[in-house]
Amino acid sequence: MKRKITLKQIAKELDVSISTVSKALRNSVEISEDTKQKVQAFAKLYNYRPNNIALSLKNRKTNTIGIIIPEIVHHFFSKVIRGVELVANQRGYNVIVGLSNESFAKEVINMEMLANGSIDGFIISLSKETLRQQDYHHFNETINQGMPIVMFDRVVNEIQCDKVIVDDFEGAKNAVDKLVNNGCNNVALITTKDYVSVGRLRTQGYIESLKNHNLELKSELILKLDDNIDYEVNLDALEKEIQQLFKANKTIDGIFAVNELYALTAMRVASRLGFNVPNDIQVVGFTDGVLSKHSTPSLSTVSQHAQLMGEKAATLLIDRLENDDDYENYQTQIIASELIERESTK
């Protein structure tokens, strides 16, 4: 493989200093015409590509936004990225994406890598492991170094920065209100363990709705699943958990599930057990996924407006990058969710 030639190698070949090579490549008046021509010819000969980042240490404006997301095979995050892209392109910014794969270490590595001159600021949704470990030092360090962060969806109170969230609590409350108003008296909740903030808030919305309707909160109707298990590939395990829930609670007539996978699986398990959706059991999910509208029956969902979240996050970040005065005047923007009624509810 042909090797890249470096500034240092050019300097050595021509017996001049690195600084001279660098200046000659930038056509500096400090360097003689003769030397400039020699350096530039040599660089051209060897296809030398100046490291723009090195050369622009002065202002370090890259016009690039770094997005760190927990996983890529997820319609919600894809839509957020599309929203970020839309605004970024309008305002002359580029976007690059790093993946944490729900790992704390990978989140840190990605941030380190991108913060080293590749980007001007971050848009981030936290990994599950970070939320579990509650170790946020990498965010604080980045912000302290003057690089702004906008968090979306999975955010934490501990970090002072701009945030964009969906109204998880209200959205969940509205969904359960709908089920109760549709005649459900025993609404079960399928949710995640509490360390993921969105799961916790959606659980609280469920509890609040029951309280408002003077319905008893029954702990046996709340199924808290371990979000570390990849149920997409362990669908059997998920089905077993949900089947167990139905079998232990024969009076369930409504399901609120905090994501698409749980909701679709609940519908399938219900059908298999001989229940009709929506006549016997009504189901609402919380998602922007594509499957909801294509499933049979189609799934009623609380839509998160993922693309709008991305647009808002990009706007907050670019505004901050372009207005130096805004120091620490942090905003949390709440995107209103929307209950989309389809066939899984009456």
Residue 327 interacting with a copy of itself (CB under 8 A): yes
Question: Residue 101 corresponds to which tokens in the numbers above?
Answer: 């794969």
Pick the closer one to a copy of itself by CB: 80 or 164.
80
* Of residues 115 and 207, the one with the C-beta less far from a copy of itself: 115
Q: Which is nearer to a copy of itself, 22 or 174 (CB)?
A: 22
Minimal distance, residue 64 CB to a copy of itself, in Å = 6
Bridge partners (DSSP) of residue 301 are: 285, 340
The residue among 113 and 217 lying less far from a copy of itself, judged by its C-beta, is 113
Which 37-56 positions form the footprint of a copy of itself (CB under 8 A)?
47, 49, 51-54
Closest separation between CB of residue 205 and a copy of itself, Å?
Answer: 27
What would the DSSP string read from start to end of 263-274? HHHHHHHHHHTT
User: Could you give the CA distance from residue 17 to residue 98 in angstroms, rounded to a whole number?
Assistant: 36
Cβ pair 161, 150 in contact under 8 A = yes
Q: CB neighbours of 22 closer than 8 A, spacing ≥ 6?
A: 7, 50, 55
Smallest distance from a copy of itself to CB 190, Å = 19
| Residue whose CB is less far from a copy of itself, 216 or 325 | 325
Give residue 41's identity as a one-letter amino acid code. A
Among positions 111-130, residues that touch a copy of itself (CB under 8 A) are 113-118
User: CB of 292: closest distance to a copy of itself in angstroms?
Assistant: 10
Q: Is 29 an interacting residue with respect to a copy of itself (CB under 8 A)?
A: no
Paired sense of beta strands 64-69 and 300-303, if any: unpaired
Under the binding rule (CB under 8 A), the answer on residue 171 touching a copy of itself is no
- What is the three-class DSSP state of 178? helix
Does residue number 64 form part of the binding site for a copy of itself (CB under 8 A)?
yes
Residue number, 162 or 227, with CB nearest to a copy of itself:
162
Nearest CA-CA partner of 242 in 291, 190, 196: 190
Pick from 16, 35, 40, 75 the residue near a copy of itself by CB under 8 A.
75
Give the contacts of 313 (CB within 8 A, at least 6 positions apart).
Answer: 80, 83, 84, 123, 150, 152, 162, 164
| Token representation of residue 335 | 């995107």
Q: Could you count the other beta carbons within 10 Å of the beta carbon of residue 91?
A: 16
Q: Hey, what amino acid is at 166?
A: V
CB of 157 to a copy of itself, least distance (A): 21
Q: Check: CB of residue 283 under 8 Å from CB of residue 263.
A: yes
CA distances 189 to 101, 169, 244, Å, are 26, 14, 13
278 sits near a copy of itself (criterion: CB under 8 A): no
Instruction: Considering only residues 4 through 23, tell me which ones interact with a copy of itself, judged by CB under 8 A.
Output: 4, 6-8, 18-19
Is residue 200 part of the contact set for a copy of itself (CB under 8 A)? no
Other CB atoms within a 10 A radius of the CB of residue 181 amount to 11
Phi-psi region of 278 (alpha: psi -120 to 50; beta: other; left: phi over 0): alpha
User: Applying CB under 8 A, which of residues 265, 282, 295, 337 lies at the interface with a copy of itself?
Assistant: 295
The site for a copy of itself (CB under 8 A) is made up of: 1-4, 6-8, 18-19, 47, 49, 51-54, 57-60, 62, 64, 72-75, 78-79, 81-82, 85, 89, 94-99, 101, 106, 109-110, 113-118, 141, 144-148, 264, 290-291, 294-296, 320-321, 323-324, 326-327
